Amino acid sequence: MAVDRDQVLRSAASLLMRKATATMDEVARSAGISRATLNRQFAGRDALVRALEGLAITECEDALTQAAIDDGPVTDAVRRLVRALEPAAGLLAFLYSENQLFEGDEQNEGWARIDARLVALFRRGQETGEFRIDLSPVWLTEALYGLLVSGAWAVVEGRVARNDFTPNIAELLLGGAVRRNE
């Protein structure tokens, strides 16, 4: 029987988002495969986490493309982007706590590509006069990540309805970022 690697990764992401300390045995059970089969796919937890990172980068880059962030008003682009990133938010929430992914020379270049596109989006918002200029585009990028992660945790824990994820995050971020005419 062939193993659906993508299904295993999604199952692992779902479990690890809820229980970051899950063992490889638990990951295998959640995916409906044996530990030996899991080991053939991923030679340990680090390999599994790196594969999840690759999936997250792909999903985030796809979301950036799907949201057409270079088109139209930046506020609309941010709303489209949050909606497009929602399916990846749980995976981002798990990875956000995996510090080894963001330290040293082994950081995946994919994060830098994503960050550059997000920074460019927020900078465009400043250049068009839509966004405040006293908040750096890097800070707005980090705020977006933080809101996505917090929102994903709140949904998983049942404190926030899934349908509220996108509007709550987009409007909270934009509420702080949009330039007000005073």
Q: What is the DSSP string of 133-158?
A: SSS-HHHHHHHHHHHHHHHHHHHHTT
pLDDT of 167 strictly over 70: yes
Question: Hey, what domains does the chain have and what are their CATH numbers?
Answer: 1-43 (1.10.10), 53-177 (1.10.357.10)
Residues 41-48 have a mean pLDDT of: 90
pTM of the model: 0.88
17 compared with 163, residue with greater pLDDT: 163
pLDDT of 102 strictly over 70: no
Please report, as a single letter, which amino acid is at residue 70. D
Rounded CA gap, 55 and 14, in Å? 13
Residues 96 and 56: beta-carbon distance below 8 Å: no
Specify the DSSP element, H or E, that contains 15: helix 5-18
Rounded CA gap, 102 and 6, in Å? 23
pLDDT of 156 strictly over 60: yes
Q: Which two tokens stand for residue 99?
A: 């510090």
Q: Residue 105 — pLDDT band, cuts 50, 70, 90?
A: low
* pLDDT (0 to 100) of residue 18: 84
